[in-house]
């Protein structure tokens, strides 16, 4: 609280965040891919980290990006169908 001057978002924090709010940005897959590429071994310098990040982003294929875009559309449609209420992404 001290570090962020009481600007905390979280359950029972100063800015209420609904339990189980739907995650409309399915970037977990992309972050997992990038993280796996970047941290296969620990970067030794800041320049090494930057290079690895760039290389990991360059390794994303059009198919991967298309799948993410399709997943975002699907989640938005589910959110609209439930009028913004909680929904199960995978049944």
- Kindly state whether residue 2 falls inside one of the protein's structural domains: no
Mean residue pLDDT of the chain comes to 79
- What pLDDT does residue 78 have? 84
- Kindly state whether residue 8 falls inside one of the protein's structural domains: no
Cβ(14)–Cβ(6) under 8 Å? yes
- Kindly state whether residue 55 falls inside one of the protein's structural domains: yes
Which one, of 28, 30, 29, 26, lies nearest residue 73 by Cα?
Answer: 26
- What pLDDT does residue 54 have? 96
Q: Which range marks the domain in which residue 31 is found?
A: 22-82
pTM, to two decimals? 0.59
Quick: pLDDT tens for 55-65.
Answer: 999 999 999 99
Ranges under pLDDT 70 in the chain: 1-26, 86-87, 89-91
Helices (H), the chain: 28-38, 46-58, 62-81
Residue 26: Cβ-neighbour burial (10 angstroms; 0-12, 13-18, 19+): middle
């Amino acid at each position: 609280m001290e570090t962020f001057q009481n600007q905390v978002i979280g359950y029972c924090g100063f800015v209420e965040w609904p339990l189980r709010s739907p995650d409309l940005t399915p970037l977990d897959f992309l972050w997992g891919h990038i993280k796996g590429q970047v941290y296969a071994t620990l970067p030794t310098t800041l320049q090494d980290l930057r290079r690895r990040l760039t290389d990991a982003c360059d390794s994303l294929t059009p198919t991967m990006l298309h799948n993410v875009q399709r997943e975002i559309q699907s989640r938005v449609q589910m959110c609209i169908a439930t009028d913004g209420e909680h929904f199960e992404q995978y049944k």
